[in-house]
Amino acid sequence: MKNINIGLFGFGCVGQGLYETLNNSRNFAGEISKICIKNPEKKRKLPAQLFTTKKEEIINDPTIDIVVELIDDAEAAFYIVTESLKAGKSVVTANKKMVAENLETLVALQEQTGKAVLYEGAVCGSIPIIRTLEEYFGHEPLLEVRGIFNGSTNYILTKIFNERLDYPKALKQAQELGFAESDPTLDVQGYDPKYKLSILLTHAFGIHVHPNDITNLGIDRLKAADLEYARAHGLTIKLVAQARRIGDKVYGFVIPQFVEPNHSLASIENEFNAVTIHGEFCDEQLFIGKGAGSLPTGAAVLSDISALSYDYKYEYKKHYNLGQLPFSNQSPVQVYVSYNSPEEVDLTDFENIQEKYFSFDHCYIVGHVCIGKLQQSQWQNNPNINVVLTAEACQTSLGNLCVSDLKEEISELKKGQKIRERITV
């Protein structure tokens, strides 16, 4: 096998992780020939002649075999990836936002150029979930993909529940360890796992779903009262991304969930990620690995580089063979909603309500609401309002209640089941 020359864009956390894993690998013949960076004044340990600020020095260099894009600017990353493909180079990227927002375009461009884009490092760090879906589950009809896709928020929630740290302290720890960015918005508000879910929808179900069409709620609104509610019921909270095929439709979202101690995701702690795949034939498979940190992601990127050296590419079997299943947000789920005063939430948005609690400084309800309604509601924009999927909804899986079933359930409630209501003065 010939020596692979790599052109690298970005030398931050993941770029340095790639450099370290590559130079300590014994089974890969390759080296980084040139690194494009934004700030040439920043002190670095490597020789200055290895660095450049000009993108074209890598994209147009005929001696460079593979381009690796590891920057945090999605728009600039898209330019680098598309121009590299057009220049006849295969690409590895770890930019999940760029891939999720442009996957349909990238798939078409790969077909036109005959070159490949691999992005295992963009989804769940060291877990080889994309290649697993492409190869092992390439022909199996899948029912559900769900899991903890963000190591930063999982680390924060672990510290909150295991060590009883408050949210600001847990977040600061995650930032100091490099698990969370200085601006943690993408992680704590659920955008990062949403981008990853968008990508996995293509490989699991063959559909391209733009991230804007997927509902995402984060952990940044968790209150002390919500944590006490969880502890009182013997539950923990995880930020869970999930997608499920029901009939001829696929449903999906990212929402914090109450998780019971015996649930497969309950024991996933710190920066670890987990992905559960449920197929018609294989039943349930659980994959666990580190989802944050420079070395786990760097190792995933190196694995993609190695795969490209053998001319590997994603075949997108389900996208081409299964046709386009429609994606829908019209799925009712049971949620716990906490807020400060009764007028903050429009209860008419709920299909039914099983429990209410009101006090001077804290209120909550438990009831069924359609994901689409939740996504469009004005009250959901209120930073004082927090939404968590109930443990019952987490155990029974997304979409087990269709709208007609839900209407029957509401009818039964009206006939005889009394709503549990508590009022504290």
Q: Rg of the Cα trace of the chain?
A: 23
Residue 355 · residue 420 · CB < 8 Å: yes
Burial of 381 (0-12, 13-18, 19+ CB in 10 A): exposed
Which among 152, 162, 171, 167 is positioned nearest to 293, based on CA atoms?
A: 152
Which among 271, 262, 389 is positioned nearest to 332, based on CA atoms?
A: 389
The verdict on whether 196 is a catalytic residue reads yes
CA distance 402 to 400: 6
List CB contacts of 147: < 8 A, sequence separation 6 or more.
124, 240, 241, 242, 265, 273, 274, 275, 276, 287
Give the H/E segment covering residue 300.
helix 294-309
The label of the residue with tokens 């004005």 reads: 378
Which among 3, 19, 1 is positioned nearest to 11, based on CA atoms?
A: 19
159, 196, 238, 290: the catalytic one is 196
Q: Produce one character per residue of 228-237: b if its CB has 16 or more CB atoms within 10 Å, e if not.
A: ebbeeeebbb
Catalytic residues: 196
